[in-house]
Amino acid sequence: MTLCIRAKRLGIAAVALVVCAAVTLCGCLLYGALAEEGEENSFIKWVDFNVPYEMLDKALALDVESHEKSEDTPLNWIELLAYTAARCGGNWSGVKTSKLDELAALLRQGQTLEELTASMKYYDYYLEAYTAVLGGMVGSYEVQVQAEGSEELRWESRYGLMAFSPIAKNYPYSDYDDFGSSRDYGYKRKHLGHDLMGATGTPIIAVEGGVVEALGWNQYGGWRIGIRSFDGKRYYYYAHLRQNFPYNKSLREGSVVWPGDVIGYLGHTGYSANENVNNIQQPHLHFGIQLIFDESQKEGNNEIWIDCYNLVRLLRRHQSEVVKNQETKEYSRIYDIRIPDIPARYNPTDQPDPLASEEQETAPESQPAG
């Protein structure tokens, strides 16, 4: 089934969002979004990811600092955010970053999250929901760096943000929070993604590692790529890619990509039942994140798309540096990355050379799916 069908259904999903909002006070959808207690195969039905940028930034800083200092009880940014969300009922308005400092101080004094959240009814909900959004984006990894005064690359161990901006380093773009704005091509619907305006041909980057699930034409998104995260919780949607040369030539459905890989190129295709048509007025990347707690949510009326604007702001600090092959016109990353916690079936023992071989760079064009 193509994303063409899925895109049509997004209108229904958007209506569901409005209905949920109408019956929810203070943003506390919480366990009302879950199946009834005791229901078989219960799972989260909705997530309103409205964490402010400042809170993401602060929680990340506390997490990284605690690991860099090798504290006895390292902090986890997702847990910090989940606790604070449970305290404020998901209503972040007026919540200051000092609340995260206060929680960090309690944990450093020896209190545990189990003790602090014992009477919190919704902490588990927020922890699961925010883990679905942010899981795998922060941790220990190795990255290639250039040795000082040499062109030689060496591996360096780090802890911190492992996910990348969807736009390559040194390529300017502009954006604003346009989640939920109206769209009318084909039918009236809400915009369930985030647009990043840039120049045609700008290299598009895999935010996270995963498996390519969709590759081809969609009349709404034009040339698009859909990538499922390794843990299966996140589906990344990159749309309106460049006419004639939309993708990295090596990609196929089923391909494994690594965080920071070049996967395609910014364009303005879409809004046409005919393939390879530029019907979008302004070149931009449509970037979306869908959460999947159960496979029944993958396509249909129960899809969960989140506002990822603040997350994209955070990721802007971590951009993949790329280089162009003048013969093939293909771009590739310069510095590779290793992530030990990724399952062995996806994490190759021998990492590919970041300076791609001629054979890799001249792979045949992919045949887009319908």
Phi/psi at 205 (nearest 5 deg)? -115, 145
Q: What is the pLDDT of residues 2-30, one digit of tens each?
A: 444 344 334 434 434 333 343 333 444 44
What would the two tokens of residue 169 be?
């380093």
What would the two tokens of residue 143 be?
């990255």
Q: What is the pLDDT of residues 211-264, one digit of tens each?
A: 999 999 999 999 999 999 999 999 999 999 999 999 999 999 999 999 999 999
**DSSP code of 296?**
G
Q: What amino acid is encoded at 319 in this protein?
A: Q
Are the C-beta atoms of residues 36 and 42 closer than 8 Å to each other? yes
Q: What is the pLDDT of residues 99-141, one digit of tens each?
A: 999 999 999 999 999 999 999 999 999 999 999 999 999 999 9
For the four alpha carbons of 225, 230, 235 and 238, in that order, the dihedral sign comes to: negative
Q: What is the pLDDT of residues 54-78, one digit of tens each?
A: 999 999 999 999 999 998 889 999 9
- Report pTM: 0.83
Q: Which residues contact 122 (CB under 8 A, 6 or more apart)?
A: 28, 30, 31, 85, 86, 89
**DSSP code of 76?**
-
pLDDT at 188: 58
Q: What is the pLDDT of residues 188-225, one digit of tens each?
A: 567 788 999 999 999 999 999 999 999 999 999 999 99
pLDDT at 10: 42
pLDDT level of residue 142 (50, 70, 90 thresholds): very high
Long-range contacts of 298-303 (CB under 8 A, 24+ apart): 298/235, 299/1, 299/5, 299/6, 299/9, 300/6, 300/9, 301/9, 301/12, 301/13, 301/16, 302/13, 302/16, 302/45, 303/6, 303/9, 303/10, 303/13
pLDDT at 35: 42
Radius of gyration of the chain (CA): 21
What would the two tokens of residue 168 be?
């390559």
pLDDT at 40: 55
Q: Mean pLDDT across the chain, nearest whole number?
A: 84
Q: What amino acid is encoded at 330 in this protein?
A: E
pLDDT at 344: 67
Quick one: which of 153, 154, 164, 158 has its CA closest to 142? Answer: 158
pLDDT at 17: 39
| Residue that is written with structure tokens 């070149």 in the block | 283
**CA pair distance 82, 85, nearest whole angstrom:** 5
Within the chain, strands assigned E span 138-146, 153-161, 174-175, 182-183, 189-190, 194-197, 203-205, 210-218, 222-229, 234-239, 256-257, 262-265, 284-291, 304-305, 322-324, 331-333, 337-338
**Could you give the percent of the chain with pLDDT greater than 90?**
71
Q: Is the pLDDT of residue 284 over 60?
A: yes
Q: Which parts of 156-299 fold into alpha helices (H)?
A: none
